[in-house]
Structure 1
């Protein structure tokens, strides 16, 4: 079970890398007001959602303790990110505030995962 959990942790990290990497590649465009949500950001957020749900299930099936409050907050943040990216995915330009919010929430989600023990 540990190997399976670690595989999904790796996939979860790939998802966050895709989401954050897509954001970082558009930062220069954000400065000029032409930033947009690239497909990698949507796919990364979806990957995080699926792998996160699987990880919670696998950890509970393995009788490991799961901090439901932490998982609930991370899920809520991710759903906001996913909603913003999904709704604005076809726009040629995304407002700086919306684009910055997605980046900020992504970083916040990373720090919640890492620092909340």
Structure 2
């Protein structure tokens, strides 16, 4: 079961990398006012959501302590990120503030995961 948990942690990190990487690729375009929500951002957010839910379930099944407040906050941030990316995914240009919000919330989610013990 531990191997399965580690596998899903790796997939979760890949989702984070896709979401944050998608944001970072739009930094130059934000300066020109041509930023958009790239598919990597949507796929990364969905990967994070699915693997995060699986990880909580696997940890609960192993009777490991799960900090439900931390998980709830991370889930709330991810739902906002996913909503913004999903709604604006087909637009050719997206406001700089929305792309910045996605990047900031993603970064906050990472720091919550790493620093909140």
Distance 2:63 2:18 in 1: 30
Deviation digits for residues 63-94 of structure 1, max 9, x if unmatched?
A: 10000000000000000000000000000001
Distance 1:89 1:100 in 2: 15
Q: Which runs of 5+ in 1 are unaligned?
A: none
Deviation digits for residues 22-69 of structure 1, max 9, x if unmatched?
A: 000110001111000110100000000000000000000001000000
Residue of structure 2 in register with 1:56 after alignment: 56
Q: TM-score, normalised by structure 2?
A: 0.99
Residue of structure 2 in register with 1:28 after alignment: 28
Report 1:1-117 matches (<5 A): 1-117=1-117
> How many pairs were matched up?
117
Distance 1:85 1:27 in 2: 16
Q: Which runs of 5+ in 2 are unaligned?
A: none
Q: What SS does the aligned partner of 1:37 have?
A: coil
Q: What SS does the aligned partner of 1:63 have?
A: coil
Distance 2:116 2:94 in 1: 31
Q: Once superposed, what is the RMSD of the aligned Cα atoms?
A: 0.3
